[in-house]
Amino acid sequence: MNTYYIKKDDFVDFVKRLSMEFSTYYLRKQTSDFYWKNEQRRILYWQKYDGSLDGMVLNWVRANDPLKQFIFSSKERICQDFQSVEPDDRPLLIIGAKNCDLVALDILDYVFLEGDFQDPFYAKKRKLSFIIASDCTDPLEICFCRALNRQAFPTKNFDMALADIGQGYVVEIGSQKGQDFISKFISKFVIANSDQLEERQRLREATSEKLESNIKRLQIPNASELKEIMQSGFSSGVWEDETKTCVECGCCNFICPTCHCFFLGDSREENKNIRYKIWDACLYKDFAVVAGGANPRKKLYQRLRNRYDKKFDFFPTVLNMIACTGCGRCISGCPGKIDIRRILKRLVQERQLVK
Amino acid sequence: MKKDNPYNSVKANLLEVITESPSIKTFVFNLMSPFSFATGQFVELYVPGVGEAPFTPSSNPSKTDKIDITIMKVGKVTSRLHSLNKTEVLGIRGPYGRGYPLDNFKGKEIFIVGGGVGLAPLRSLIFALLNEKSKYKKIILRYGARTPEDIIYKSLVRQWQNSKDVDVKLTVDRADSSWKENIGVVTTILSKNDVDITNAVGVVCGPPIMMKFATLKLLEMGFQDSQIFLSMEKNMSCGFGKCGHCRIGNYYCCKDGPVFTYKEIKDFPEIWD
């Protein structure tokens, strides 16, 4: 497929036209100066489009909250009085998703779409979502996608991907749906020239270098070591030590782009029996408890370890894919300052001491 | 692949409630849509407005008009179930998972070890084995309960014993004066003299601690880890590998189990907890 170029004003018009058919969410910067003066508090969030694209940011970094929420709702009514609830069928347009959220969709797609049963709610929203992704240009100190061999620019699971090169965007097409939309507005999209492609490449390399030098400075382990250190470090004292500041809030689960566990909650409301599908957190004490009271992970450190075990051992085994994208959200969200990079690094160091 | 809503339950009419022991009752249902299961598979039983819980049916899988589910009162859903009268409308989803591999069992001695309410799935298994009795060399049941009154399916167990269809030995942890059989935990009635280990499979179902020690005993008797079939209980919520609650190592108990060989899961941590 061709790679295009569009001027920024024309892109705004394009979005406004599309938003007549879609519920649109775009990436917006936090407007308070207080946040912007402090790099660590830099926050982008998803803003529902309401006629204006004020504060839209199409590069910088991922949103504070994960993309998954649009496709896998935090709380969703799924059944009522033995009848299936029909999933919402309004198409979604999401603008500004970064690669750390896009690659996470591979994990969610595997969970919800594969196997003997498909989740009809996820399937419908996934199908109805039109994703306009964009390059990450200003990764945070906590970002470490390159250590996990992920790119900071969109590589998959998008319909269109934008790279901001100053006056306009270089636009890559990721799906037939994306191509069809471009075709409808073809007068605004021109084939990108080699200077524009080179500029995109230059910016991408600069971002990558920024990430890689940070990874090197902090000695963050590489993806290739992680499955082995999870296995060698299963009985390590690191888990208990790192759990000391955990308050079992579940933030690391909820904010994670790949965490997908949920529970089915039944309730009676206004004489109707309702079943909800609600996000759950494996850090919570009752997560794996059975009715008789047995709990395979009674201790908090076992539950913290379980989260890592699933990301760095389970998914690499069943899907040949690490279920961490290096987005760093669990680091910034944790009130106990538990740092996934530090834990992985400590496990590597312990293994080296044993060798 | 099924495209409809797999989270939705179908209606199940509760026809009868049978008291099996002070804490265990059997609930008999008929379903408004056709339903069949393989022995060892499980279902999600739904009390409308209250919640769901996973159970392995205890009835004969060849019986398709009614389904029995034997339930111990232990949690929120089961307490509500125990308070129900008959003629209630409940819900059911399933069946889910991998049951007992009966083809693998053919021609062998089936050495079944049960504890407490763990006899419920095993009753269904024994019914299934007796449906094709000639295909199995021998059916052996070793069952333990806390006290004589905690033994479930008493008359059926006696009937198996008397008919010699099943070689039955029972034990209780604490006896009363009328008890004439063994006293002690279930491992005290497991003997390699009762089974031809070279041509047998072991099947274990019961509380986690009992499953652990029964499995270790079977290994000590000479069973291979691939000959031991365990019916695992984890927190199965969705039932088909989506919700993430029932992971055992690289498996989900709901879709890859609930029946596993010991060989499949022995290297994973936390399996007995």
Q: Residue A281 pLDDT > 80, yes or no?
A: yes
- A44 shares a domain with A15: yes
* Model confidence pLDDT, tens digit, residues A27-77: 998 766 655 555 555 689 999 999 989 889 999 999 999 999 999 999 999
- Cβ contact (<8 Å) for B240 and A112? no
- A254 shares a domain with A178: no
Q: Residue B149 pLDDT > 60, yes or no?
A: yes
Convert A205-225 to b/e letters by CB count within 10 Å (16 or more is b): eebbebbeebbeeeebbebeb
- Cβ contact (<8 Å) for A119 and B242? yes
User: Mean pLDDT in chain A?
Assistant: 93
Q: Which domains does chain B have, with CATH numbers?
A: 10-96 (2.40.30.10), 102-231 (3.40.50.80)
The residues in B 212-251 lying below 8 A from A, measured between CB atoms, are: 233-235, 237-238, 240-247, 249-250
Please report whether residue A289 resides in a domain. Answer: no
Please report whether residue A166 resides in a domain. Answer: yes
* Model confidence pLDDT, tens digit, residues B204-262: 999 999 999 999 999 999 999 999 999 999 999 999 999 999 999 999 999 999 999 99
User: Mean pLDDT in chain B?
Assistant: 94
- Cβ contact (<8 Å) for A275 and B7? yes
- A120 shares a domain with A230: no
Please report whether residue A79 resides in a domain. Answer: no
- Is A266 an 8 Å CB contact of chain B? yes
Convert B69-100 to b/e letters by CB count within 10 Å (16 or more is b): bbbbbbbebbebbbeeeeebebbbbbbbbbbb
- A190 shares a domain with A233: no
DSSP letter string over A131-187?
A: EEEE---S--TT--GGGGT--SS--SS-SEEEEE-SSEEEEEE-SHHHHHHHHHTTT
| Model confidence, pTM | 0.94
**Mean pLDDT within A144-168:** 96
Q: Residue B101 pLDDT > 60, yes or no?
A: yes
- Cβ contact (<8 Å) for B242 and A262? yes
- A238 shares a domain with A104: no
Confidence of residue B34 (pLDDT cuts 50, 70, 90): confident
**Mean pLDDT within B79-83:** 92
Q: Which of A186, A218, A250 is the last residue of a domain?
A: A218
- A230 shares a domain with A334: yes
Compare CB distances from A261 to B53, B243, B250 and report the shortest one's residue: B243
- Cβ contact (<8 Å) for A266 and B207? no
Phi then psi for residue B84, to 5 deg, are -80, 145
- A184 shares a domain with A92: yes
Distance of CA B28 to the CA centre of its chain: 16
Q: Can you give the pLDDT at residue A39? A: 56
- A229 shares a domain with A146: no
- A174 shares a domain with A31: yes
DSSP letter string over A19-74?
A: TTTSEEEEEEE---HHHHHSGGG--EEEEE-SS--TTB-SSS---SS-GGGGTS-S
Please report whether residue A115 resides in a domain. Answer: yes
- A165 shares a domain with A36: yes
Domain extent at residue A334: 223-258+295-354
Q: How many domains does chain A have?
A: 2
Minimum distance, in Å, between the CA of residue B231 and any CA atom of chain A: 14
Q: Which of A192, A218, A244 is the last residue of a domain?
A: A218
Residue whose tokens read 């298994």? B125
Minimum distance, in Å, between the CA of residue A342 and any CA atom of chain B: 24
Please report whether residue A254 resides in a domain. Answer: yes
Please report whether residue A282 resides in a domain. Answer: no
Q: Which of A218, A246, A269 is the last residue of a domain?
A: A218
Confidence of residue B2 (pLDDT cuts 50, 70, 90): very low
Please report whether residue A160 resides in a domain. Answer: yes
* Model confidence pLDDT, tens digit, residues A229-247: 999 999 999 999 999 999 9
- A194 shares a domain with A139: yes
Please report whether residue A134 resides in a domain. Answer: yes
- A229 shares a domain with A131: no
